[in-house]
Amino acid sequence: MQIDAFLAQRLRELRQAHGLTLEQLAERSGVSRSMISLIERQETSPTAAVLHKLADAFGLPLPALFTPPAPTPQPVARLADQPVWTDPASGYQRRQLTPGGVAAPVELVEVHFPAGQSVDFDIPAPRVGIEQQLWMLEGNMLITLAGAAEPQRWLLASGDCLAMTLGERITFHNPGPRSARYLLALTRSAAPSRRLP
């Protein structure tokens, strides 16, 4: 199944499993109901920022939107079976490494980030706290983390590893001139930072 088709089905299933209408999910996620409807009908390719908001509305990390809740956990995710999703806005590509259905506390994602591109995740009141470690494999990335305190910024080079807690706003930027590649390890923290009713 194409990743967009899978995403559309997964989003609709998640929404219905939570008993939410388009309007309710729109209010909860900050994404308009029209946009959610378009995604569910595969009539648009949502940006990473939009998907990040939707995942957060379900209390899930972004990679969870690309992995099916497999009834029987598979210990191996073959390269050919790993879902790859490309952000239409920036062209950045994320490959879901962790096998589906595995109840592991860690999720692994490989990211290819085009030179000169940026991706901005901005969620005013995140529902789910996510701990994340970023291991640079190739190239450079500039990570800016903005929360309640002063913004923090790190320029990462090949081999560097950054551990961070996702705050309200995080910007990934590849200053170029080469495309970057890195590994993300994500865990959901025990205590979500804040939660709306």
Partner DNA sequence: TGTAATTTGGACGGTAGATG
Partner DNA sequence: CATCTACCGTCCAAATTACA
Per CB under 7 A, contacts with DNA among 110-149 are 117
Whether the Cβ atoms of residue 94 and residue 111 lie closer than 8 Å to each other: yes
Q: Quick one: which segment of 38-46, 70-78, 102-110, 185-193 binds DNA (CB under 7 A)?
A: 38-46
Nearest to 186 by CA among 97, 105, 67, 86: 105
6, 9, 32, 133: which one binds DNA (CB under 7 A): 32
Q: How far is the CB of 26 from DNA (least distance, A)?
A: 7
Q: Residue from 9, 42, 45, 193 that binds DNA (CB under 7 A)? A: 45
Tokens describing residue 52: 């990040």
Distance CA 45, CA 108 (A): 23
Q: Which of 3, 9, 38, 59 binds DNA (CB under 7 A)?
A: 38
Residue 100 CB, nearest approach to DNA (Å): 25
User: How many angstroms separate the CA atoms of 90 and 48, rounded?
Assistant: 9
Minimum CB distance to DNA, residue 181 (Å): 19
- Per CB under 7 A, the list member of 3, 49, 97, 143 interacting with DNA is 49
| Per-position b or e across 41-79, b if 16+ CB within 10 A of its CB | eeebbbebbbbbbbbbbbebbbbbbbbeeeeeeeeebee
**Tokens for 151?**
């913004």
Contact residues for DNA (CB under 7 A)? Answer: 21-23, 30-35, 37-38, 40-41, 43-47, 49-50, 88-91, 117
